Every structure is written in C-alpha cells, then in structure tokens.
Chain A
Amino acid sequence: EAGVVQSPRYKIIEKKQPVAFWCNPISGHNTLYWYRQNLGQGPELLIRYENEEAVDDSQLPKDRFSAERLKGVDSTLKIQPAELGDSAVYLCASSSRVTITDTQYFGPGTRLTVL
C-alpha cells in the first residue's frame, strides 16, 4: 500500500513569492491533516479535513495561507505571500476515520526555505 505522497520535497523561494504544496493521502483515508514543523520543534496542526470539508482550521493563518481538498482526495496548501518566518517543514498526514483509535500516517514533508 502506498503511503502519503507529498511534493515537492524541497522548495526555496524569495519572500513575498507564492508557493504551493501538494498531498496525496493513503487510498481510502477520508481525513487529511496539514502540520507545520519548525526547526527543533514538533509538528503543529494547521488544518484538518473530513472529506472535502475543512473541519478545523483554527490554527491556519488565514491572511496568507489557504488550503483546499477538491473531491475529498488530494489537497493543496498555499502561502501567498511567503514570509521569512514561514520557513519550515510542511507535513501532510491522513487517517481512515475520526475516532479515538484513529492513527495518523505522515508523508515525508516539504521543506520550505524562504530567503
């Protein structure tokens, strides 16, 4: 079974430029998460989707970040414009259902460097 796929793996941009990250979850997983991991820190949740609906986006900086999950499968996370402080690893995770026994499986992440 294929795991969570993310692309690109690395991205270097100048500040004020836009950037987008793509995630393909494990087949059949209807819950999708985007986390941000700053250097030396654990991941922090940005947004969670149930199918195509964003059910928790309370930690998403909505002035510059946006996300979508069309058709309830793949998802895209966008930053426009990027700031220096956005440099981090952006992790996508998926799980099969939202229960307390639900296990989240993570992709390899996209490492963003903003110059």
Chain B
Amino acid sequence: GEDVEQSLFLSVREGDSSVINCTYTDSSSTYLYWYKQEPGAGLQLLTYIFSNMDMKQDQRLTVLLNKKDKHLSLRIADTQTGDSAIYFCAELNQAGTALIFGKGTTLSVSS
C-alpha cells in the first residue's frame, strides 16, 4: 500500500539551512507535496514537484527528488524562527484523487 515516512524532529539555528527528508513507497506517484502546519492552523501548501523533475527551487525552498530511491527532501535556506512548524510530505494516491501524508517533521528554529 501507499506509505510516506518522515523523521519526526529537526532542530536548527536561525540562519542555518534545514533539510527535511521523506521516503514514499508508491513508485507511480506523479506529484509529491510539502505542506506546512503552524500551531492551531490548517495545512499550507509550500510547494510540489512533478515526478519527472529532479529539483525545484522556489525562493528559499529547494525540493530534491530521487525517484530511484523514492526519496524527497525539502531544503529551507537561511532558516528563520517563523519557519518553526510541522512540515508534511505527501504523495498523490494511485487514483490521483487524495493525498497520503507522512506523520510530519517538527522543525524547531532557535535564535
């Protein structure tokens, strides 16, 4: 079945880069997503990548996709305290109709 795995916690200092990793099981996934959830809030879409891409950059965010290893990463450059949140990796299910989420990685940024 479809499954998404993430490391649970990451702690970085302000100004450093953060790298959040994710592995997924469904090799037929066409789109992979990163969502951010702040305390008491819903999920905010950060970025997504199509499976035929290796990399996507959007301002401070860089997404790397290794389709062979089914590994996805999100790099946040110059991490700020406002980036502290839970980050969810998600893949589109085989039917292309729903998202399968990981358990989320809690990013803690200290000043």
Task: Check if A56 sits within 8 Å of B43, measured CB to CB.
Answer: no
CB of A4 closer than 8 Å to a CB of B: yes
Distance (whole angstroms) from the CB of B87 to the closest CB of chain A: 11
User: Contact between A91 and B42 (Cβ–Cβ < 8 Å)?
Assistant: yes
- A99 vs B97: C-alpha distance in the bound complex, in angstroms? 8
The answer to whether B4 has its CB under 8 Å from any CB of chain A is: yes
Cβ-defined contact, B42 with A108, below 8 A? yes
- Give chain B residues whose Cβ lies under 8 Å from the Cβ of A91: 42-43
The bracket for how many chain A residues form the interface is 20 to 34
* Given A42-B90, A42-B104: A101 and B31 interface contact (C-beta under 8 Å): yes
A54 and B45 alpha carbons, distance in the complex (Å): 24
Contact in complex: B42, A106 (CB < 8 Å): yes
Indicate if the CB atoms of B40 and A108 lie closer than 8 Å. yes
Q: Which of chain A's residues have a CB closer than 8 A to the CB of B41?
A: 108-109
B residues within 8 A CB of A48?
Answer: 97-98
Q: How far is the CA of A107 from the CA of B44 in the complex (A)?
A: 9
Q: Bound state CA distance, A33 and B31, in angstroms?
A: 18
Chain B hits for A100, CB < 8 A = 30-31, 92, 96
**What mask results when residues 88 to 104 of chain B are scored 1 for a CB within 8 Å of chain A, else 0?**
10101001111101111
Known: A43-B101, A48-B98, A98-B97. A103 touches B45 (CB 8 A): yes
The chain B residues found within 8 Å of chain A, CB to CB, are 4, 30-31, 35, 40-45, 48, 88, 90, 92, 95-99, 101-104
- Point out residues on A near B: beta carbons under 8 Å: 4, 6, 33, 40-45, 48, 55-56, 91, 93, 98-101, 103-109, 111
